[in-house]
Amino acid sequence: MKIQRFSKIGFVMAAAGSAVGLGNIWKFPYMTGEYGGGAFVLVYLVTIAFIGFSVMVAEMLIGALGRSDTVGSFEKLAPPGKKGWKYAGFMGFNGIIIMTFYSVVIGWIFYYLFTLTTGLPETTQEAKGIFEALVSNSPAVSIFFHTVAVIIVGYIVQRGIKSGIEKINLLLMPALMLILFGLLLYAFTLDGFKEAFSFMFEPKWDKLNSEAIVRAVGHSFFTLSLGMGAILTYAASLPKEANITKTALIVTFMDTLIALVAGLVIFSFLFQFGAQPQQGPGLVFISLPTILDNFGTLGIFFALLFFLALAFAGITSAISLVEPVVQYLIDRFDFTRTKAVVFISILYWIVGVAALLSYTKSYGDIFSVAQKPLFDILEYTTDSILLPLGGFLIAVFVGYILDKDRVASQLKKEMGNRLFTVWRFSIRYVAPIALVFMMLNLIGIIKL
Ligand code: PFF
């Protein structure tokens, strides 16, 4: 198969672009708010350090050694007699399931970019009204912006690795960081900053329950884009001489840093004016714009910058969610890139419409199962079940199935012997056991 290669910096930015997404700037702050701050953040950081990073190295390794689409890489690397492992490669399809709701949220962000220019809501009530009008009462508007998101993402993926994915990441990632660090500098000058800092970094253990732990572990996979072959697919285009360990470290670090910065910025603004952190998914769409209104015109400017950063983060992640299946269709079914993109985009656009309708007043019942909106079902299934399952398969494959000497010869020279032993222990024992516990807990077989 023909695979284009990223440049070194292009790969780092693309992988970081995949990891840094709505998960960092929208989800992480609201989850931290919901689950009480510090203790949740600590579980998240520990999981990233001890499991997330190891699995990131493992997933990159499969891509770099396999040099194929998700299914092809597993198939190629599995020893004779174990070729059934190729089915693990179907984890690439998770991306499309994620895209069904991810593109809806990107659509909301686009809508906000438009409406905020005309002024910010003055009260929480008003802000809630705007958000609810969009999500529950205006399916046509939601569908329109969802469609715009699908088209933009499709266009970039259609341009391919070099002139689409690499190019856009090299542009948007530095822009996003500039905006967020700029906002952090400003947040620094606010009184709310101190409170935000202690909210995020002083663990309050009484707030931590088993649900919070499971969500923190699940989120650490989501945020690093692990367990669905996005990193694997990008790594198939890794330049030959790239250092996997170093790259994984940079990507993990950037992703974590940006989540923490986003949290600090949002909570500083909120606490400055005494707002509450536990607003759930509406935190960024309802609480933040209302609070920013206190800054007058400057507030509109901040809001625009913030939602622009959110849009950039969303787009660079979305393309990595679509690319694995596109690559698969090109490799396996000889699709042209354009045909693959159009086919996949239509598919997830349709389910996305059903997902967004599941939040509306008029169609909510039709698109809900057992009172649960389709949107929530899709999100929960991917974030809490499919990604950890994918992570588990990656860990077991690299830890037990893949030729040990091949793994060692690549990684020992990058990590040194001692770190390699630690990594191998993590990938063979810590990661799979933690992930099995998590999945059993989720399906209710054990209770943490
Ligand atoms: N990491 C992205 C985020 O934090 O928003 C979401 C994501 C992208 C998950 C790509 C999985 C993936 F393969």
* pLDDT (average), residues 423-430: 98
Q: At 369, which helix (H) or strand (E)?
A: strand 368-369
Q: Is residue 337 pLDDT above 60, yes or no? A: yes
Query: 373: part of which helix (H) or strand (E)?
Result: strand 372-373
Pocket of ligand 1 (CB under 6 A): 18-19, 21-24, 95, 98, 222-223, 225, 228, 230, 317, 320-321
How close is the Cα of 223 to the center of ligand 1, in Å? 5
Cα–Cα nearest to 247, from 3, 2, 14, 1: 14
Q: Which atom of ligand 1 is nearest to the CA of 313?
A: 5
Please tell me the predicted confidence (pLDDT) of residue 31: 94
| Beta-ladder partners of 372 | 369
Give the C-alpha separation, 447 to 221, whole Å: 21
Q: Quick one: pLDDT at residue 80?
A: 96
Mean pLDDT, residues 403-411 taken together: 95
Question: What span, in angstroms and rounded, lies between the C-alpha atoms of 169 and 20?
Answer: 11
Cα 379 to middle of ligand 1, angstroms:
12
Residue ID of nearest Cα to ligand 1 atom 12: 225
3-state secondary structure of 357: helix
Q: What is the pLDDT of residue 448?
A: 57
Phi and psi, residue 369, nearest 5°: -120, 125
Is the pLDDT reported for residue 279 higher than 60? yes
Mean pLDDT of the chain: 94
- For the segment 16-43, the average pLDDT, to the nearest whole number, is 95
Q: How far are the Cα atoms of 105, 156, 298, 326 from residue 272, in angstroms, in the given order?
A: 27, 39, 15, 45
Of all residues in the chain, the percent with pLDDT exceeding 70 is 98
pLDDT band for position 320 (50/70/90)? very high
Instruction: Indicate if the alpha-carbon torsion angle 353, 356, 357, 362 is positive or negative.
Output: negative
**Nearest protein Cα to ligand 1, atom 13:** 225
Ligand 1 mean position, distance from CA 16 (Å): 10
Contact 96, 431 (CB under 8 A): no
In Å, how far are 59, 259, 263, 299, 328 from 288, measured between CA atoms? 36, 16, 12, 10, 40
Give me the pLDDT at residue 1, please: 53
Residue 430 Cα to ligand 1 midpoint, Å, equals 22
445 — pLDDT class (breaks 50, 70, 90)? low
> Domains in the chain, please, with CATH?
8-442 (1.20.1740)
> Using CA positions, which residue lies closest to atom 9 of ligand 1?
225
Residue 17 has a pLDDT of: 98
Per-residue pLDDT reduced to its tens digit, 38-64: 999 999 999 999 999 999 999 999 999
Judged against a pLDDT cut of 60, whether residue 16 lies above it is answered with: yes
Q: For a pocket test of ligand 1, which of 26, 31, 165, 223 has the largest count of ligand atoms closer than 8 A to its C-beta?
A: 223
Is the confidence at residue 398, as pLDDT, over 80? Answer: yes
CA distance 422 to 409: 16
Ligand 1 atom nearest residue 223's Cα? 4
- Please answer whether residues 270 and 361 qualify as being in contact, where contact means their C-beta atoms are separated by less than 8 angstroms: no
Separation of 383 CA from ligand 1 center, angstroms?
9
Predicted confidence (pLDDT) at residue 444 exceeds the cutoff of 80: no
Ligand 1: atom nearest CA of 227 is 13
3-class SS of residue 389: helix
Count of residues for the chain? 448
pLDDT interval class at 405 (50, 70, 90): very high
For the segment 325-346, the average pLDDT, to the nearest whole number, is 97
Ligand 1, atom 7: nearest CA belongs to which residue?
A: 225
Nearest to 16 by CA among 138, 163, 168: 168
**pTM of the predicted model as reported, rounded to 2 decimal places:** 0.94
Whose CA is closest to 306, among 180, 185, 401, 445? 180
